Amino acid sequence: MKKIAKLHCLLVTIIFFAFANNLFAQATESSKDYAEFIFYRPSQSVMSGGAGVEIKLFMNDQEVETLFNGVMLKYKMYSEGDIKIKTQGYMSGGAVGGPWVNTITVKHGEVYHIKLESKFPSGIVAEILEGKKLAKMEKNKWSDVIEKVESKDNPLIN
């Protein structure tokens, strides 16, 4: 009789841990629940004309961040669909050159790597990175890494 009670107790314990582990796994966020944008703003010299330019980043016409020299922005996005990304350079409070505008179809589980540079006086140049260019960019030393998350209550894509 004691063997049956021990087996019953062991079975209940196993079921409890299996159920608890399943609940924990469901509560843990998966990279398949969001997309991630990583914007790189490498340091530029004063001679290049880009050092004093702030780059403002807009997603669907909402300002997300101002990027300075040597900054990386990681932006986690929960909504999916087409998003308009716009960057504009500013110096001393005024717009410099033309903006860079691109539309990207956002899909959960994807990571989008975008390098931003100021090319004074023409404006912002952006490049979607892959392969060797991405590997080189990831090796840079960043003066600041900013992490932001899209609000689930106010998504950028409706």
What is the per-residue pLDDT across 65-85, written as a single tens digit (0 to 9) for each?
A: 999 999 999 999 999 999 999
Longest dimension (CA), the chain: 87
Report the run of H or E that residue 65 belongs to, with start and end: strand 62-67
What ranges do the domains of the chain cover? 1-30, 34-149
Q: Which pLDDT tens digit goes with each residue over 18-47?
A: 444 444 444 566 668 999 999 999 988 776
**Is pLDDT above 90 for 107?**
yes
Which H or E element spans position 131? helix 131-139
At 74 the three-state DSSP class reads strand
Mean pLDDT score, 113-124: 84
Nearest residue to 54 via CA among 40, 68, 43: 68
pLDDT > 70 in the chain, percent: 77
> HSE of 80 in the Cβ direction (CA atoms, 13 Å)?
9
Q: Which H helix or E strand runs over 114?
A: strand 111-119
Find the mean pLDDT for residues 131-153.
Answer: 90
pTM value surpassing 0.85: no
Domain range 34-149, CATH class: mainly beta
